Amino acid sequence: MKAEPARRRSPDAQLAAMRRQWPDFAGRRLGDGTLIWQGPLRPKAQLYTVFICWHPVTMSLPYVIVDDPPLRPRPGGAFAEIPHLIFYADKPEQSGLCLFDPEGREWSPADLIADTTVLWTAEWLTYYELWHMTGEWLAPGVGYESVARMIRADAEAVKAVLDDVH
């Protein structure tokens, strides 16, 4: 007998879980159904404001950017050299954090963003701080630390949301 697949979490469930677990994050649903949150994370030394967006129909994964302070390369380096980014060439400061193995099926709409994505963002930021200190990305990862690829549909959906919200 096959196991029943996990049920997709409703947008209301996603918003409620974020309110419960991350009360400092402001969240809402846009008119097109996109869910967005903005809030503070302090993984180690630095306080960051992060932005999370996800559309339950058009995006396969949540998209996370660091609003403040903006990500920066190491001294003398280029923005595209920051490890594990979903590079947005038109607006590099809005490049997303590569939090998921695209082949690994690590996240699905049955998962709560509050239980997964926010914690993974804090972890990514910890390794980002260490990378600035050591020059090495010390986190385990999949593949070479080059600019991550995004599914084309996700990129278009994210670009539309970012252009409207930012």
Residue 59: CB atoms within 10 A of its CB come to: 22
- Residue 150's pLDDT is 41
Radius of gyration of the chain (CA): 16
The pLDDT of residue 161: 77
3-state secondary structure 97-132: ECCCCCCCCCCCCCCCCCCCHHHHHHHHHHHHHHHH
State in Å, rounded, how far the first CA of the chain is from the last one.
48
Give, for all 166 residues of the chain, the pLDDT tens digit: 455 556 888 999 999 999 999 999 999 999 999 999 999 999 888 999 999 999 999 998 999 999 999 999 999 988 878 888 888 888 888 889 989 876 777 888 899 999 999 999 999 999 999 999 998 888 876 654 544 334 445 666 777 777 777 6
pTM for this entry: 0.82
Distance (Å, whole) CA 94 – CA 96:
6
pLDDT at 112: 96
From 128, 148, 145, 154, select the one nearest 54 (Cα to Cα): 154
